[in-house]
Structure 1
């Protein structure tokens, strides 16, 4: 059996707020299906959904998204007014560069080049 990714789901406190952030970052229209479930379908990518859970984020994500961009620092600068935060500085090696970021609820993701 082979499966395919239908959507990626983030647990969160505020689905409607978080979907707006990710829709601004990746494109697509935010959809609020119910008070505890929202999603966005970014162009060229699978649906990203947000489900409300009672507990807050406690540790680093075990899985995160790497988002390819033309220039890491410029992408980070554009994401910060949307509610993102940098984690450390830009890392560059022979494979390219990356910047670890957090979304408004603290979920890590990276801007990458290479």
Structure 2
């Protein structure tokens, strides 16, 4: 498409507390966080920047239409570590012959999955 670089610049989460959510994701991914101001924070999760912007409204729907898949070596261990940071496990670990996943939510309810395989 003309005029489009075909590269995603960043993934942006709407949230109530950008600094707190950036700190959660920073700890989860082991990537540096930068809080620009009370309304904007980022985590440099190579190869993409994850950004958090303050919005006045809360999460409107219980189910995300988009979520992040985070690679894990040990699904139960990753889920437990995320829960210690404030995440919530939303389901059981599901495994088949090729890999598995567990659905989680960050402290503001944004869903993500730990995946293997």
List aligned pairs for 1:10-25, cutoff 5 A. 10-25=13-28
State the match for 1:50 in structure 2.
52
1:65-110 superposed Cα distances (whole Å, 9 cap, x missing partner)? 0111101111001111101110010111233110000000000000
**1:29 partnered with 2:13:** no
1:20-63 superposed Cα distances (whole Å, 9 cap, x missing partner)? 00000112221111110000102x32010000001101211110
**1:6 partnered with 2:12:** no
Give the ranges of 4+ consecutive aligned residues of structure 1 lying more than 4 Å apart after TM superposition.
none
**1:41 partnered with 2:82:** no
Stretches of structure 1 that go unaligned for 5 or more consecutive residues are none
| One of 80, 89, 99 as aligned partner of 1:96 | 99
Q: Which moved more, 1:31-40 or 1:89-98?
A: 89-98
Counting matched residue pairs gives 113
TM-score (norm 1): 0.94
Per-residue deviation, 1:3 = 1.3
